[in-house]
Structures are given as structure tokens and as C-alpha cells.
Amino acid sequence: MAKGKVSTAVGSLGDYLKEQRTQAQLSLRQLAEQTGVSNPYLSQIERGLRRPSAEVLQQIAKALRISAEQLYIRAGIVSPDDGVGGSVELAVLADTALTERQKQSLLDVYQSFLAMNAGQAAAEPGDEEK
């Protein structure tokens, strides 16, 4: 298996995080201490080799004093043009009673419903559900 970038969203996320960390005048080691995330893992995120969970993004956002929502958008977890969907996704991500795996499962199901509904709307433009 090739060791490429996980995705362009994650790559741009890594660049953005590195820029924010540099502006905050923090080393990777200092950021690791503040977030409780290992230094090598943070380095892999910055280089676009790893896709962080929503929980890790929250910890990073808190340490860098930036918007967690902005990180979710940059990571491709939340789409900026979701409208109502964005609030559903953010509510799931913010729910502390759910595990990371449960959050991801809910988001996957939600996204599949949105895609299915968009496909039905495109297939039957005149027919609306009654």
C-alpha cells in the first residue's frame, strides 16, 4: 500500500494546523502537551498522513484557541454549505455521551440519507413525497 496523503482535505487541514501552531508560537512538543495528543501523531496530521478524529480536532482547537467547527470543515467532517445538516453534524460531534466510533457511524448514516434523498430528488423532480 502506498503511503500517500489521506486526502486533500486532510492535507490542507495539516497545513492550516501548522500555520496556526506557528502563529501561536508553539512547538509540536508544546502542542502535544497541551492537547494530550502524541507528538508523532500531531506531526502526521500536519503532514497530511493521518485523519484526526473529531475529538482530537476539538483538543487541538482548544489549545490553539481556534474554532473547532472550522477544523471540522477543513477536515471534511462538516460541509460549509450543509445548512441544516451542519447543525446536525455539529450536535453529533459535540455529544460527549457518544464514543468516537458511534459519532462516525451516525454521521455516515446521516450522510447516506442526505445522498439518497438528493438522488431521489434529482430522479423525480416533479414528484414530492406526500
Let me know if residue 128 belongs to a domain.
Answer: no
pLDDT value, residue 37: 95
Q: Is residue 129 part of a domain?
A: no
Per-residue pLDDT 10s for the chain (130 aa) are 344 444 455 558 999 999 999 999 999 999 999 999 999 999 999 999 998 988 899 899 999 998 888 888 888 877 766 554 567 888 888 788 888 788 888 888 988 888 888 887 777 655 555 4
Which of 67, 69, 65 lies closest to 31 in space, CA to CA? 65
- Give the H or E element holding residue 59: helix 54-64
Q: Please indicate, yes or no, whether residues 71 and 31 belong to a single structural domain of this protein.
A: yes
Nearest to 84 by CA among 58, 105, 114: 114
pTM above 0.85, yes or no: no
Residue 61: phi and psi, rounded to 5, are -60, -45
Same domain, 88 and 109: yes
- Residue 14: CB partners within 8 Å, gap ≥ 6? 45, 46, 47, 48
Domain housing 104: 84-123
